[in-house]
Structure 1
Amino acid sequence: MSSFFTLPASAKKRKRPQTTDQPPAKRNAAPKRNESRDESISGSDASDDDAPAARNRTDDLSSSDDEEFANEDPAAKRIRLAEQYLANAQKEVLDDVGFDAKDVDLENLRSRMGDRLKEDTAETKGKLYRWIAQDLDWTGAAQRVTRLDGKSVNGVAVQGRSIYVAGRDGAMSRWEMPLPEPPMRDGKQVGRVRKTLKRVAYTRGSRKEKRNRDYKEHTAAILCIAASQDGKFVATGGADNKLIVWDATTLKPLRVFTQHRDSVISLAFRRGTNQLFTASKDRTIKIWSLDELAYVETLFGHQDEVVDVCALAQEKCVTVGARDRTARLWKVVEESQLVFRGGGAPTTKRKAVAKDTDSATDVSGGVEQRAYNEGSMDRIACIDDETFITGSDNGSLSLWNIFKKKPVFTYALAHGVDPPPTALELSADELPDESVRGEPQPRWITALRAIPFSDTFVSGSWDGCVRAWRVSEDKRRLEALGPVGHVAGNLTKLLDGEDVLSPEATQTPSGTVRGVINDLAIIDRGDRGKEGILIAAAVGREHRLGRWQTRKEVKNALVVFEVARKSVGAARPNGDGTGLVVVVDEEFGGFD
């Protein structure tokens, strides 16, 4: 027996009777409805004969349409007329404008979403996908210099508009980048424009509390600093064996960890998480979860102090072990490690340009420099999950691939060499022999940072320049892009109190930074670097781990470079392309 629920769809459709002998009033009769509903829904149940507005909208219909939709109910007719009106309006717009803006917007959205999906997929797989080095105006980078009092500056970290600085005297401060220029109104800017960095938070430890186990700040030099990607935490490691987690906004200590048995030298957050890796002189790497403020695990394997650590999105990290001359890839989940052995000297010699310490002049005469042996691997930076860069005390940058135990490529003397000391400095004789001078010595790689999943990275030493580099498309070579900022720009003159724009200053060749670049931080500006990148450099009188290099005449400083894209135009605060340097004198503080 069939019913309404078992009948086919065609049989379920209810049709009006086709008889014409029935009076129109009876054919259009409808059940009584609530009067309040009729008032609230204006004419929703009215027929064609009772709706003059509907008749006016259908005057232009042809007689064939009337015959085709003779049995159409009023509700369906209103929907059909509305769709027809929208189609006619869209046709008129297309005839006038020539294109459909909706289609263009959808196409642009599909293109952007497709590019974003490709980038997210490449980043998930740990592949290099951003080739941006050639699109950046390195020499036209604008510079902001903030001079800091106290002892040498050891670390710098950047998160959003905040820059965190830590020093040898146990002080830490948060600086805020200036906001973009205010909007224009009637041809004038609304409000004032602040072009300098502003210190918004500050804290410092005290050596007097060294024996106080409940003291929640550093009692010795801060050697490293890192900021979480979500802007909640800042972590610092010091020579007092402490790892301290701070609130990123107020710089109030949240938790102090003392599990390391020696100085904490380097920190790295796992990308996109609050998982933290710490490297120490006790030859271990420890893993922490800052969401729970808890210790997780310890990694063993290095034969010397672990001086640098770097991590990307996966649960892995890479480290360098100083004088054991190894880089190690730690696979935390698999509980295994890969060892990459350095040492020795570059296999090929090249014509190196040795530069004087206080200027960019060539002191080698373009002669071929000998290769220097690698004594210590000091710095490391990840390009992607398969490629990383190391920097050594022989001044070389090495490109590594996880599928090969030896460097894929080595760039020797990346920051040149120091001229040998004079004979008078080396000998107590009144007229010393020049033969005691010795040979020029390479400048160490003291800082190294890369933009994750891109071909771009920067390095620092004490030659007066932050240098930019790129990885070739086949990921088998390193190519120099030159110094960041104007090498002939005048930080030396400026810090000595001379006019930065004077003719004498602009004619004097000098580096952009004076002192030892102890740390670098690099982030994108805008959505994935649409506006360029920002580089922050911690410049001090001494090396962060010792006094092998001491420059008493140098002023400790925080130097910020704003590198714009070439297509957008380099950021030049003074508008004349000279890269005006802004200096702010602020006290950095020290121990009580």
Structure 2
Amino acid sequence: MPRNTIKKTVKKIKKPKTMNSKQNNKQKIDDDESIDSEYLDELENQKPQNISDKSDSEIDETEDNRRLRLAKQILQQTKQELQSKKNDDFFQDHHDIHMNDEDKRLNVALLEKFAEKHTIYQSQIQKFDRQFNRETYKGHLRAITCTQVDEFAKHMYSCSKDSSIIKWDLETKKKEFIQREVGKHGDGHYDEVLTISLNFDGKILASAGKDHSIKLWDTTSNKLIETLKHHKAPIYGVKFGYNSNNLCSISCDRTFIQWDAAQRAYIDTFFGHSTEANDIDCFNADDFLSCGYDRQMIQWKTKSGGQLLYSGHQQSIDCIRAITLDTFATGSVDSNINLWNVKKRKPLFELNKPHGDRWITSLGTIYNSDLLISGSYDDNLNIYKVTNKDIIKVRSLQSFGIINHINVFGDKILTVESQEHRLGRWITSTKSKNIIVLYL
């Protein structure tokens, strides 16, 4: 396979790969942390001085619950400031030199999204027990490989093997080409685009594929920001951590690489897979999941450089999705879906052949919920209820072709129906027209 011969100096951020046990014992902050802990500690220290004793519930609360409580406190304070500012005559003619009202409203919206994603387990399955209508989007010439929807469900992004990337308006269905099919000497990708990911505020889109490079795009201007090069083989997955610009990528070169998208910089390379890695997802800002042809799943802790390995499938694992902070699901070429807990090396539950003898080509979920959706190429989109010990099939929706990707937002399902598998031509279908389908 030809290697990219274009070399570019990239700013490198030095970071220790591992920590010894003494340092780990001294570390007071969990690896799952996604809010600036110094700010949270400062906020907690702002409590009234006459409150000297903590309640039993505060003493026993976990670090995750503490961050959630403080995030809600920040949100409430911001709302109160906006309300007092609205009622204050002085602020009707003067604006905060550090942050205007619009910026604060955006902060409130982002904090609400954070609180929604990190609340304790919520049931979502009842939203999908209804009649669905199919709305289709067509614009790519070849198989569509991946889609992304922004936090506010205003825009959708899609990529394809025709090397194009399209930005869609979900209200008007109008499309804008971020990248059309280009030649080898263009600024964009010159080969198949296999994966895309949006950062937390929807302003940066990362794309990658067979040309071994990651492109960062400004979603406002649709212009290229930067090209990141470090992989030596096709890149099968990129993923932003929740609420951060921490970007991670997996590749056929068997590496897991961490990047800082805000600084446009390479951070570190990790090793773990013995063959190519196929898919990637995240638990939070710093903890990621990957799966591969080696039948292994790896949890990557990018802060400490640690990793946990899991195994249980008999063949290559094509897709992986985090369900809650400690559970995830995998779909494999062995036709099974497995449910996992991060504390156990073996699966909690194995759902045998929900699509018959066909591969599980994609999984979708609403994070921190009981919803799981699977796709294959048997003309069915399966919806499941997930408990802490099993996966229960609830219903099926009609689909066509090969389901290469599934996104779930609100009470809507976004799928990709393609004529061939996203990573190759091992399986093909003539039932699809290479379209995006929105179930609403």
Asked if TM exceeds 0.5, the reply is: yes
The match for 1:255 is 226
Match of 1:198 in 2: 174
Equivalent residue for 1:175, pick from 168, 171, 186: 168
Aligned to 2:358: 443
Deviation for aligned residue 1:205: 3.4
* Pair 1:477-2:355 in alignment: no
What is residue 338 of structure 1 aligned with on the other side? 308
Give the superposed CA RMSD.
2.4
Question: Does the Cα contact within 8 Å between 2:135 and 2:438 map onto a contact in 1?
Answer: yes
Q: Given the superposition, is the C-alpha separation of residues 554 and 523 from structure 1 closer, same or farther in structure 2, using an over 3 Å criterion?
A: closer
1:327 matched to 2:297? The reply is yes
Distance 1:541 1:277, change over 3 A: same
The 1:122/1:129 distance shift into structure 2, 3 A limit, reads farther
Structure 2 equivalent of residue 84 of structure 1: none
Structure 1 residue ranges, 4+ long, deviating more than 3 angstroms after superposition? 117-124
In the TM superposition, residue 122 of structure 1 has moved relative to its aligned partner by 9.4
Q: Pick the aligned partner of 2:269 from 267, 292, 298.
A: 298
Residue 537 of structure 1: aligned partner: 415
Query: Corresponding residue for 2:405?
Result: 519
Q: 1:465 to 1:198 in 2, by over 3 A?
A: farther
In structure 2, the partner of 1:436 is none
User: 1:558 aligned to 417, 431, 436, which one?
Assistant: 436
Provide the secondary structure at the position in 2 that maps to 1:307: strand
CA contact (8 A) 2:246 2:285 kept: no
Q: Deviations over 1:173-210 (max 9, x none)?
A: 111111xxxxxxxxxxxxxxx6xx2213442232x42x
1:156 paired with 2:96, answer: no
Contact kept, 8 Å, 1:148 with 1:555, in 2: the verdict is: no
Question: Structure 2 counterpart of 1:449, which letter?
Answer: G
1:449/1:128 CA distance change after superposition, 3 Å: farther
Structure 1 contact 138–483 (Cα < 8 Å) conserved = no
Question: Which digits, 9 at most, give the CA deviation of each residue in 1:204-226, with x for residues without a partner?
Answer: 232x42xx4xx421110001111
Deviation (angstroms), 1:147: 3.0
The size of the alignment, in residue pairs, is 332
Report the alpha carbon displacement of residue 305 of structure 1 after superposing the two structures with TM. Answer: 0.5
User: 2:322 maps to what in 1?
Assistant: 382
* Superimposed CA distance per residue, residues 232-284 of structure 1 (whole angstroms, 9 cap, x where no aligned partner): 01111111111111111332111111211111101211011121111111111
**Shift of the alpha carbon at 1:338?**
0.8
Shift of 1:522: 1.8
- Checking the alignment, whether the CA contact within 8 Å between 1:396 and 1:414 is kept in structure 2 is yes
Larger-Rg structure: 1
User: Are residues 1:414 and 2:354 paired?
Assistant: yes
CA contact (8 A) 2:140 2:160 kept: no
Output the amino acid matched with 1:469. Answer: Y
Alpha-carbon distance, 1:340 to partner: 0.6
**Equivalents in 2 of 1:318, 1:150: separation in Å?**
31
In the alignment, the residues of structure 2 paired with residue 274 and residue 387 of structure 1 have an alpha-carbon distance, to the nearest angstrom, of 23
SS in 2 for 1:136: helix
Q: Say which structure, 1 or 2, has more relative contact order (CA 8 Å, 6+ apart).
A: 1
Stretches of structure 2 that go unaligned for 5 or more consecutive residues are 1-75, 81-110
- Per the TM alignment, residue 123 of structure 1 is displaced from its structure 2 partner at its CA by 5.8
Displacement of 1:551 after TM fit?
Answer: 2.0
1:459 aligns with 2:399: no
Instruction: Please show how residues 222-233 of structure 1 align to structure 2 within 5 Å.
Output: 222-233=193-204
Which structure has the highest strand share of the two? Answer: 2
Q: Distance in 2 between matches of 1:378 and 1:216?
A: 30
Taking a change above 3 Å as real, the CA distance of residues 201 and 399 of structure 1, as seen in their structure-2 partners, is: same
3-state secondary structure, aligned to 2:191: coil
CA contact 1:128–1:455 (8 Å) conserved in 2: no
Q: Structure 1 residues 149, 201: closer, same or farther in 2, change over 3 A?
A: closer
Change (3 A) 1:275 1:554: same
Structure 2 CA distance for partners of 1:198 and 1:122, relative to 1, 3 Å? closer
Runs of 5+ unmatched residues, structure 1:
1-108, 179-193, 344-373, 417-441, 485-510, 525-532, 563-592
Q: Deviations over 1:32-80 (max 9, x none)?
A: xxxxxxxxxxxxxxxxxxxxxxxxxxxxxxxxxxxxxxxxxxxxxxxxx
Larger CA deviation: 141-150 vs 268-277? 141-150
Deviation at 1:470, TM superposition (A): 1.8
Between the aligned partners of 2:256 and 2:288, the Cα distance in structure 1 is 10
The answer as to whether partners of 2:420 and 2:427 remain within 8 angstroms in 1 is yes
Taking a change above 3 Å as real, the CA distance of residues 540 and 386 of structure 1, as seen in their structure-2 partners, is same
Q: Which residue does 2:122 correspond to in 1?
A: 130
Task: Report the residue type matching 2:301 in the other structure.
Answer: K
